[in-house]
Structure formats: C-alpha cells, structure tokens
Chains A and B, each alone.
Chain A
Amino acid sequence: KMAGGEKTRQWKQEEEQQQKEKQEGLIEFYSSYQELFQFFCSNTTIHGAIRLVCSKKNKMKTAFWSVLFFLTFGLMYWQFGILYREYFSYPVNLNLNLNSDRLTFPAVTLCTLNPYRYSAIRKKLDELDQITHQTLMDLYGYNMSLSRSEWSVPGTQKRSSRSLLHQVQRHPLRRQKRDNVNVVNLPENSPSVDKNDWKIGFVLCSENNKDCFHQAYSSGVDAVREWYSFHYINILAQMPDAKALDESDFENFIYSCRFNEATCDKANYTHFHHPLYGNCYTFNDNSSSLWTSSLPGINNGLSLVVRTEQNDFIPLLSTVTGARVMVHDQNEPAFMDDGGFNVRPGIETSISMRKEMTVRLGGSYSDCTEDGSDVPVQNLFSSRYTEQVCIRSCFQLNMVERCGCAYYFYPLPAGAQYCDYTKHVAWGYCYYKLLAEFKGDKLSCFHKCRKPCKMTQYQLSAGYSRWPSAVSEDWVFHVLSQQNKYNITSKRNGVAKVNIFFEEWNYKTNGESPAFTVVTLLSQLGNQWSLWFGSSVLSVMELAELILDFIAITFILGLRWGRSRQQLSVLGPAPATHGTAACHAEAPPLAAPHRFTVEAVVTMLPSYNSLDPRGPSREG
C-alpha cells in the first residue's frame, strides 16, 4: 500500500516536473544567495570545498576543513610550481639511433696546396718577390737568389709595379727589439710572446697615419709568410681575372680515381679555386647522382692517386707539400683551413670515416636554426647554412661596412669590391683591427650565428703506409709516367695515394626529443589535482559558474532592491526582506515562474543531508 501511494505521488511530481520543463527558460537564476550556495553545496564535485562551505553550522568542522583545504591548496601549488619549472626548462631526452641505411658518400675536396703555378703568376709577383728577397737579405742575411736572372722583368711591368713598391714600402717588415724605447713605441695587436728579445712584424696605419700599430710575430717565418700573403692578396685583388689565370689541370693532379671499384668520371667532380689552397676538386658534390657505399671497407670507398710534386709552387707562400683533403657534406662549402687533412707525399693515407648525425630540437628547446633564415646575417655563400658560413659572412659584411671593401678570401657581397691598397689605403689596418675585434667576439658574430639544428659530422682517423713499396716502385712509376705523360722526377715525393672509406656500415644519430611535453605536463597537473582535491577542470567550471551566478544575482537583487526602494518611497516602508519567504513575497510577477521552477527542482535534488543534519527543512 505504502509503495503504491508513494508511486502515485512520485508520478504526480514527475508530471509536474515535465510541465515545468516545458516552461524552462533559456537561463534561470536563483532568487537568493542562500539558494545559490545551497545548490552549489549539494551539487559540487570539489572535495574539500563541500566540507568547507557546506558544514557551516559546525564551526569546529569548518575550521578543521579550512585548515585542511588551505594546506592541500598550498601543497598543490607547490607541486604545480615544481612541474612548471621543469616544463619551462624544456628538458630533452637524448635519442641514440644506429641507422644502417645505405650510406651516401660525403663530398670529398682535394686541394693542390698551390694556388697558382709559379710560372704563370711569376710576372705579377715579381716585384713583391724582389722586395721580399731584399727584406730577407736585410733582416736575416739570407740570399734567396734562386733563378732570379732567368726572369728579367720587362720594362712595362716595372712602371705598373712602381705603385706596388710604394705600397709595399708603406708596410715594411721590420724587426725591433723588445722594450726598446728608441723605436717607435706602437701598440701591439697581437699577444706578446716572451720568446726572445726580438720581435718581427709590420706596421699598419690608419689613412691619415695618425693611429698605427705593430702587427708583431715572434717567429720570422710566420712574419714573412703573413706579410707576404698580405701583399699577395692585394696583388690578386688588383687582377681582374685572377680566378681565370689558373687553368684547372685535373689530369695533371689526379692520376687515378676509383670509387667502389669503378672508375670515376667527369661528372663526379666540380672544381673551384682557393687563393691559398689552390685548385680544389670536390668529388661527389652534385646532387643528381651521388655515390653510395654498399659496404664499409677500403675497397668500397674513394681511392685517388695524386701528384704532389712541388716544382711549380710559389716558394714564399706554399710551405707545405702534399695535398689537402677534406670530407664534408654535400652542399656545404669546403673550408679547407677548418677541417682539412694533409696527405703526405710518398705515403698511402687511408682515412676511415664514421658518420655521425646530430639533430637538435629547435624552438625553445635549444638555440639552433633550421635553415638559417631566422639568423640576422646574410648568407654570402651559395651553399646551405652552416655555422661557419654564417660566421664568415658576418665577418665579411662587417668588413664591408667598416673598411669599405671586402676580404679577398670570402665571397663578395653585392655592390662591394675586394680590398686592395691602391684603392683602400688603410684596409690592412682596418682588417687587422677588425680581426682582433672579431676574435674577441665584439662583433658578436659568434653570438648571432647559431648552430644548425641538423648537423652531419665525419670523424676521421687515418692510417699510413709507404707507397709505392720498394719492389713495386719501378713498374708503378713507369706506368704512371707513361699514362699521364708526366715525368716524375722526384719519384717518391711526387705522388701520394689517398683512400677514403667508411669504417662502419651504420651511423649514429644523436637526436633529441622533448622530455616533458604538454601532454605529460597536463597529466602531471591532473595527477596533482586529483591527488589533493579530487577535482577536475569541470569542477573549476563549476566554481566559475558559481562566481558568475553570484555576480548575476547580486545584480538582480540590487536591481530589485532599487525598485523596491522606488516602490517604498511611493507606498511607504515594507517589511524587511529576510530569507526566501520574504523574497517570494516581494518577487516581481515576471520572475514568478522562474522561482517556481527553482524551488521545484531544488526539492528534487539530493541535499547531502548527511553532511548537514540540521539543514533547512524541506517539504515532505
């Protein structure tokens, strides 16, 4: 019976509710703060907050819960702080991969170590050589008069070189005693080396000769070479067709070339000329048909026989004999002075390579650049961005800006011309000053140029053996001289053999991956949140809703109060509005159905009365 009665009652309520739902407004507000909090307390899902707000009758409990609440709140934010700190330090995981794909053979650049054949450039350098001989004679008493007489200087040449003589004498090489007050006391541009009492160098002055400094060296060999190459650059810069002067004589330099047991052909190399390292041949540089190594080992690499004979070298410039090899990535310029490897004559040099790739994470994880487009330095080289390319471009751009001309060894920026002291009198002074600043990173080139995110390195190690062996020497030289029509006079020193090969089939990739991603951060935050509060983002939304409602109700109540004040001034004082009952009475007719809805629903809801034994009484 009881059950039946209950059911009918419930059914009635259901019926009512359905009716009400039909009338439900778009958004409905509570009629009082109490109702608002009542609703919040009975429906919220934030664990601590329920106890804090909704056990208001029990002061002891409220105090206890508020302590707990703030404690957990503090703990959570402490943990949050730790998590955020970890996240914003952008930690990375190091990934080590061993790949065993087919290896693309790197580009190999081989240089003759002799910029021009001496016989071809002799006329241009003759004046300078004379002065150098004279200087050597004066300073060291060394008479370097080899075959001078053979090359008599033509009269036409003499006239043009008068200016050269003048220029060279502007920067004479001289020796001075250390701590000698009688000699002009000039500031030095180089660190002093306490080797002996003497130092040797040359003086560089600014345009108006007001500021001078002494570019000093402790060793005469260094000083003479540096001084010579300084003038040599000037002479080259004066020649309009310096790069055309030299004919590329590949056949005369590389006697034999094999890759992977097959003969190389013309398509496999490109040629460029370096003012100091001479004719350079880069193998495997064109991207259309790259060599790939199928197996590691000496037989599957590049094998070259090169001529290293020194008959035609410029005596004061090329002090090294042999050839220079460099292994680099395709589309990267070969900076021979950075990563070269000298090949000795008469020796077979076997260079084994290990490839290693480094891939950094860009963005906020590390300070690297993908393609250099975000680096504030214009790339003067026609190659891909590398750190060295950037640094050199940076120096060259600074040079053009400060000295008004470009350094001969680096590419020419648009609209500039190479330095040459017939046009730019004080460029040497400017250059050496700039170089000192550059090295001290005052130009902030090292700062501006960031590392590329993707780098390929080749770790080289070499083994040497004598080549050709004593017993095979005869026939090998004979065949070589027959075939290449070159009379190798100084036999063993005339040739060298180079093998470049991969030591391992697999290569290492050092990669990075973010150790702490947004996903992990959110998971960690969620963990903490759940641990201390058992709440979620949606609980926060509940709180936000509460606050919005609070504001809205304040506004509505304020409005209503204002209206009632208006009415009051007309009708006289009304009973004070206390609690819901009063509210009901005072509610404007428009809000009536709303209020009704609110009330009805409130009764339907769980009241958590277990939490609040003396809660407000309800119907039923």
Chain B
Amino acid sequence: AMAPGKKIKARIKRTLPVRGPQAPTLSELMRWYCLNTNTHGCRRIVVSRGRLRRFIWILLTLSAVGLILWQCAELLLNYYSASVSVTVQFQKLPFPAVTICNINPYKYSSMKDYLSELDKETKKALETFYGFSEGKSKVRRSVDEWNSTGSDFFKQIPLLKFEDFSKTATDLHSGQKRKIEGSVFHKDSSIVNSGDSNDIIGFQLCDADNSSDCALYTFSSGVNAIQEWYKLHYMNIMAQIPLETKEQASYSADDLLLTCFFDGLSCDKRHFTRFHHPLHGNCYTFNSGENGTVLSTSTGGSEYGLQVVLYIDEADYNPFLVTSTGAKIIVHDQDEYPFIEDIGTEIETAAATSIGMHFTRSRKLSKPYSDCTETGADIPVENLYNKSYSLQICLHSCFQKAMVNSCGCAQYAQPLPPGAEYCNYKKNPNWMYCYYRLHEKFVKEQLGCQQICKDACSFKEWALTTSIAQWPSTVSEDWMLRVLSWDKGQKLNKKLNKTDLANLMVFYKDLNERFISENPANTLVILLSNFGGQLGLWMSCSVVCVIEIVEVFFIDSLSIVLRRQWQKAKKWWNDRKRQRSGKPPQAADLERQGHDNPVCLDEDLPTFNTALRLPLPQGSPLPRTPPPNYSTLRLESAFSEQLPDTLEPGRH
C-alpha cells in the first residue's frame, strides 16, 4: 500500500514523463533547433552550402535579431506618449461664477475708529518727510481711543529716512538720528531720485528676541514706502477685529450693485453670494452655485450675459491703503476659489467694460504620462480653502502652514488653519520679521512648496477679452444718473456722480466650448501589434518562436551544460574511488561522453531525471555505440512517422 502522495507522484511521472533536451551536445541542439524552428534565417545557416554562404546567413540572422531588439526598445520607450485631441462643441454653456469686489475693502467712514491712530501717524510721516499737509484738515478727533497701545507699535516700527546709505536714519517720531544696523534687504538703487536732497524711505524689522538681527526695507518711491508701511500696520489692526464687525464695515450687496441684468432678465442681490475676502472686504459672487443651480446662457453676445452697474463710492475710499479706483472682478468655476488679489481684472469707473469670454476645458493624463493630480488628495498639503484643488490653493496653503509652524500665527490674507489665529503684534510681536523672512524663503523656493504642489489634471479657463467705452455718454449722462440716484433712493441723499459708477458686462463671445484632452497615443494593443510587426518583418518570428528560443537557448542548453558538469563530477568521483581501491581506471569510463553516454541509448530520450539523478550504471562494458537517435535530424524519417499518408507508395 503506497501512500496516496507517492501514488499520485508516480502517476504523474508515468503520464507526464520529463524528458531532456533533444540533443546531447550544444552544437547538435543548435542544429536541431535551426532545422525545426519557424524563425526565418536560422534554417538557412544549417542547410546552406559553403562556408561563406553560411557566414553570410549567420550575419544576416544576427543583424535581424539586433534590429528587432533595437526597434522594440524604441517602441517601448515611446510607449508613454500622449496625443492631444481638440474638440469644439456647440452647446448651452453653464455660466461661470463671477466674483465682484470693490477695490477698497471697507468703508473708510466706518473704519475710521480703528484706523485713526495709524492715519495720524501716516499723515505725520508725510508731513515730516515730504512737507505734505492736508489743506483743509478735517478735525477727526476720534473720541474713542480704541487702540492706545497701537501707537507703541508704530513707534517700534517707524518709517525711517536714510541718508545716502550711511548707517544713520532719521526716526519719524523722535526726529533723532539713530544708528541702523542689519542687512539691507531691498537694497535701493539710485535709478529713481539719484539726487542727493531726497533720501530713501523705508522701515526696519527686527527680531524681537535679538534686536541686532534686523532687516531693512527701503523703497525707491515714497509712494510705495508709505503704502507698504501702511499695509503692514493695517493688517495688524485688521487681525484683531472680529469678522462680523468687518463684514458690517464693508459694502453690502445693496451698496455695491445698482442694477443687474442676466440673460435678458432682471436679477437682484439674491443671485449674489457674499464672501468675505481678508484683503478686499465683502465680495459678491454671481452664480456661485450655492443653492445647487448653475445658470446658463442661451446665446452668446453681450445682451445675454451679465450686466451690472456698480456703485463705487470713491469718496469713502481709504486714501493710503488703495490708490486706484474701481472694482475687481474675476471669472472662475463654481468650485474654484477666486484669487482676487492675484488675478482679478480691474474695472474702471465712468466707463463701460465689456468682457468677452471664451471657454476652454483641458484635461491631462495623470501618471505615468505626466505629473499631475486628479483631486489633490495625494498631495501632502492640507487644503485650507473649502474649494476644489488647484495649484494656487496648494501653494497658499503650504505657505500658511509653514507660517503657522515657524511664526506661531497665521497670515492675514489667507484662510485660518484649524487651531491657529491671525497674527497681530499684540500677541505675536515678532511676526512681521518672521513673515518677511519666511516669504523671502518661499520666493526662493526654500520651503519646498513649489516641489510638493502639483498641477491639477483637469481645469477650466475662461479667456477674457476686455474692451472699454466711455459711459455714460454725455447726452445720456444726465437722465441716467438721475434715474440711478432715484433707484438708489432713500439711503443716499446726494446725486450720483459718474465717476462713482462702473458698468460691467460679462458675456460669452460664442457658445463654443473648446475641449483639449490628452489621450494615450499608444495602447497595449498597438504596442503588441507593433512588436508583432517588427518580429514578423525581420525574422517572421512570433510569440511562439520567442518561447521556442527561450526553451532551446536557455532551458535546453542549460540542462546540457549541467549534464556535462554532472558527468565530469561523477567521473572525478569514480576516479578517486578507484584510486583509493587501487583498481586501474577502466577505459570505457574515459570514453563515456556525449554519444557514448549509455543514458542516451535508452529508447526514450534522456530525461532530466536520468541526466541529473540516476547514477550511471557502473562498469557496463558496452561497445562503442552508434550515434544517438537523432531521427529528427533526418526529417524524412520524422515525416515518415508523422505523415504516412503522404509518403511515396514505394517506401511501404
């Protein structure tokens, strides 16, 4: 009773016997292969007559193999290439979201309480350095001394007047000369005001812990210096004011929008969504898709787009924070964050601005074709904006994260990460220095943000064409202003001025959507068929012949070599044994190689088992045997077994 395992093994051995290669030596194996393979060229090597002929055929075959390898390598290398298709579709296009902000973030009148101290300081600076004093100085003595401690900080970071790169500067407050140490950051040039009478204005930021470590900011133009300095303090003050107060201090939808027209129909403030931007105050997004519906236009052309008249209250502008008048708009997708401060388009007052749009949608292939991200989920930067991923969002989020990590508070212009709060110099006296240092690092790509953040794979863009016309025209100005003032109505007592108004039209130039998409230029099918083509062209080879090559050149050749080695080892072993026992070596053993191998004499061809495991029968005094049974070398005989019906009748 055999064990069932052994039984099965024996059965497998019986039904599927493992046999060795078709030939005992390598040269015969090659010969056999060449005669039997389907690959072209190889056969000719064997059957050709004449050494030159044979050599030429060897050369040809080898060069064909080389060409196949080279061309297939080319095919593989070019596999990951993409082709681009551009489709233009005519369809009803969804209207993008249009975000509109007044350039001035908050009404100056309502922010006066908070900013009075700063303004006073600024006016003082203007007077000291430029001898400018407001002619009719309205006495704005604010009763509420809201931020009395603020002035300390103005004193800490005052505007300075440098005298020709000497290390001394005049302080705004004390008027004293003070010694300035530290590296000059924006080293000023002498391009503007090379004259010696005017000096360079700037300010100095110092590390609070180590006051000798200072950075100096100088500006070529006084306008820039004052604005920068004002902005610095302004952000500190704003960071301390609660959001509700700021929203109230900014423009309401009624304030900003006088008329609204969309797709030939009237619209009102309900179509606009408010959104508070830290630098631009209240902004209003038309068609934000907040309630789930996205408007679309039925036809292109300015009549069917968005038409609004904006009320820009120029008199209520902050004179130091912003110096230009108008509104900023940005056209974006509903789930995109509007980066007003970066890419907003300005709208001029007393003019009608028509913005024609052309819509393009693009899609890139992600890995391995290009390095882009589909959703941004694979980017190790938390998205601080609750909008869909874009490169801009990633960069800003990355910077804000770095800011919170190294300075301990968040920068005012970007959203707040969880658990952090905005920087102000009451709580973080050191933040400005830290911020400027960090920003410099960011610009120089030392924070690694630019490396981490990747492009988005699909994006929409609206190419804008702007044109401007005078508005309202001289003849229509009179009645139009009157009607608009009446509309504005009860709240406003004064008559509107045309420089307070801006007319804006945003529309699709045509309803063509251009869709640019990348497609893989090669699919697996094409790759394989190209492989097939190359193999077929040079050698008429196929996958089967590749397998055949592997079989003959690797498995069979290896087994032959191994068998050789085994026999050598065996012989060496026998010799040693014999030497020990003192018997003279047998002549038959020495000869027993290759054809003489008794294993090959079996009716069956040599098997792996016989070749590798079975010990050679010792001392079998067989005579020198005839050549092995390579009947396959003679195809006639092989054919006569396989195809008896096609044989000549005479042979039977």
Determine whether B503 belongs to the interface, using a CB cutoff of 8 Å to chain A. no
CA distance A476 to B629 in the complex (A): 108
CA distance A482 to B131 in the complex (A): 9
Determine whether B282 belongs to the interface, using a CB cutoff of 8 Å to chain A. no
CA distance A613 to B535 in the complex (A): 33
Surface stretch bound by A, among B9-17, B44-52, B550-558: B44-52
**Segment 211-225 of B: residues with Cβ below 8 Å from A:** 218-224
Least Cβ distance of B591 to chain A in Å? 15
CA distance A515 to B521 in the complex (A): 9
Contact across chains for A265 and B626 when beta carbons are under 8 A apart: no
Least Cβ distance of A225 to chain B in Å? 25
Determine whether B482 belongs to the interface, using a CB cutoff of 8 Å to chain A. no
Determine whether B495 belongs to the interface, using a CB cutoff of 8 Å to chain A. no
Least Cβ distance of A543 to chain B in Å? 12
CA distance A519 to B130 in the complex (A): 74
User: CB-CB < 8 A to A606: which residues of B?
Assistant: 35, 635-636, 639
Determine whether B189 belongs to the interface, using a CB cutoff of 8 Å to chain A. yes
Contact across chains for A539 and B391 when beta carbons are under 8 A apart: no
CA distance A533 to B289 in the complex (A): 63
Contact across chains for A14 and B538 when beta carbons are under 8 A apart: no
Least Cβ distance of B32 to chain A in Å? 13
Contact across chains for A536 and B536 when beta carbons are under 8 A apart: yes
Contact across chains for B126 and A609 when beta carbons are under 8 A apart: no
User: CB-CB < 8 A to A257: which residues of B?
Assistant: 191-192, 220-221
Contact across chains for B342 and A255 when beta carbons are under 8 A apart: no
Q: Using A522-B537, A527-B529 as known contacts, say yes or no to A25 and B324 having CB atoms under 8 A apart.
A: no
Contact across chains for A298 and B342 when beta carbons are under 8 A apart: yes
Determine whether A10 belongs to the interface, using a CB cutoff of 8 Å to chain B. yes
Contact across chains for A484 and B636 when beta carbons are under 8 A apart: no
Surface stretch bound by B, among A166-174, A188-196, A439-447, A467-475: A467-475
User: CB-CB < 8 A to A476: which residues of B?
Assistant: 223, 323
CA distance A467 to B326 in the complex (A): 9
Least Cβ distance of B546 to chain A in Å? 14
**Segment 15-62 of A: residues with Cβ below 8 Å from B:** 24-28, 39, 43, 45
Determine whether A254 belongs to the interface, using a CB cutoff of 8 Å to chain B. yes
Contact across chains for A10 and B634 when beta carbons are under 8 A apart: yes
Contact across chains for B465 and A461 when beta carbons are under 8 A apart: yes
From A98, A350, A468, A618, give the contact of B372 (CB < 8 A): A98
CA distance A511 to B354 in the complex (A): 33
Determine whether A534 belongs to the interface, using a CB cutoff of 8 Å to chain B. yes
Least Cβ distance of A118 to chain B in Å? 24
Sorting the interface of chain B by its residue count into under 10, 10 to 19, 20 to 34 or 35 or more gives 35 or more
Surface stretch bound by A, among B18-26, B76-84, B245-253: B76-84
Q: Using A255-B221, A265-B189, A465-B326 as known contacts, say yes or no to A523 and B530 having CB atoms under 8 A apart.
A: yes
CA distance A614 to B647 in the complex (A): 9
Kindly count the residue-residue contacts between A and B in the assembled complex, taking CB atoms under 8 Å apart. Answer: 373
Contact across chains for B346 and A102 when beta carbons are under 8 A apart: no
Contact across chains for A469 and B343 when beta carbons are under 8 A apart: no
Least Cβ distance of A4 to chain B in Å? 8
Chain B proximity mask over A515-543: 1 for CB below 8 Å, otherwise 0: 10101101111110110001111110110
Chain A proximity mask over B523-549: 1 for CB below 8 Å, otherwise 0: 000000111111111111100000000
From A43, A263, A465, A470, give the contact of B47 (CB < 8 A): A43
Contact across chains for B643 and A483 when beta carbons are under 8 A apart: no
Determine whether A147 belongs to the interface, using a CB cutoff of 8 Å to chain B. no
Contact across chains for B198 and A482 when beta carbons are under 8 A apart: yes
User: CB-CB < 8 A to B635: which residues of A?
Assistant: 605-607
Determine whether A320 belongs to the interface, using a CB cutoff of 8 Å to chain B. no
Determine whether A480 belongs to the interface, using a CB cutoff of 8 Å to chain B. yes
CA distance A504 to B344 in the complex (A): 12
Surface stretch bound by A, among B150-158, B171-179, B265-273, B313-321: B313-321
**Segment 478-494 of A: residues with Cβ below 8 Å from B:** 478-480, 482-485
Contact across chains for B465 and A482 when beta carbons are under 8 A apart: no
Contact across chains for B40 and A609 when beta carbons are under 8 A apart: no
Determine whether B205 belongs to the interface, using a CB cutoff of 8 Å to chain A. no
User: CB-CB < 8 A to B455: which residues of A?
Assistant: 98, 100, 506
Contact across chains for B132 and A475 when beta carbons are under 8 A apart: yes
Determine whether A513 belongs to the interface, using a CB cutoff of 8 Å to chain B. yes
CA distance A266 to B193 in the complex (A): 12
Determine whether A158 belongs to the interface, using a CB cutoff of 8 Å to chain B. no
**Considering only CB atoms, which chain B residue lies closest to A256 in the complex?**
B221
User: CB-CB < 8 A to A515: which residues of B?
Assistant: 83, 521
Sorting the interface of chain A by its residue count into under 10, 10 to 19, 20 to 34 or 35 or more gives 35 or more
From B83, B322, B648, give the contact of A95 (CB < 8 A): B83
CA distance A478 to B322 in the complex (A): 16
Q: Using A96-B362, A464-B326 as known contacts, say yes or no to A352 and B343 having CB atoms under 8 A apart.
A: yes
CA distance A613 to B468 in the complex (A): 94
Contact across chains for B126 and A463 when beta carbons are under 8 A apart: no
Least Cβ distance of A75 to chain B in Å? 16
From A25, A26, A525, A598, give the contact of B533 (CB < 8 A): A525
Least Cβ distance of A97 to chain B in Å? 7
**Segment 94-122 of B: residues with Cβ below 8 Å from A:** 103-104, 108
Determine whether A299 belongs to the interface, using a CB cutoff of 8 Å to chain B. yes
Chain A proximity mask over B331-356: 1 for CB below 8 Å, otherwise 0: 00000000101111111111101000
Contact across chains for B314 and A520 when beta carbons are under 8 A apart: no
CA distance A459 to B198 in the complex (A): 39
From B44, B191, B345, B535, give the contact of A463 (CB < 8 A): B345
User: CB-CB < 8 A to A27: which residues of B?
Assistant: 49-53
Determine whether A503 belongs to the interface, using a CB cutoff of 8 Å to chain B. yes
Contact across chains for B323 and A467 when beta carbons are under 8 A apart: yes
User: CB-CB < 8 A to A146: which residues of B?
Assistant: none
**Considering only CB atoms, which chain A residue lies closest to B321 in the complex?**
A472
Determine whether A365 belongs to the interface, using a CB cutoff of 8 Å to chain B. no
Determine whether A404 belongs to the interface, using a CB cutoff of 8 Å to chain B. no
Q: Using A93-B83, A526-B535, A607-B636 as known contacts, say yes or no to A534 and B540 having CB atoms under 8 A apart.
A: yes
User: CB-CB < 8 A to A294: which residues of B?
Assistant: 442-445, 450
CA distance A24 to B55 in the complex (A): 13
Determine whether A273 belongs to the interface, using a CB cutoff of 8 Å to chain B. no
Determine whether B597 belongs to the interface, using a CB cutoff of 8 Å to chain A. no
Determine whether B188 belongs to the interface, using a CB cutoff of 8 Å to chain A. yes
For A263, A266, A461, which residue has the most chain B Cβ atoms within 10 angstroms?
A263
**Considering only CB atoms, which chain A residue lies closest to B220 in the complex?**
A263
8 residue pairs A–B, Cβ–Cβ below 8 Å: A251-B192, A263-B219, A296-B343, A298-B342, A459-B463, A463-B466, A471-B317, A513-B81
Q: Given A98-B362, A469-B317, A483-B221, output 17 extra A-B contacts at Cβ < 8 Å.
A: A27-B53, A258-B219, A263-B218, A294-B450, A464-B326, A464-B347, A465-B325, A466-B350, A471-B317, A472-B320, A479-B130, A480-B221, A530-B540, A536-B40, A537-B538, A601-B49, A605-B47
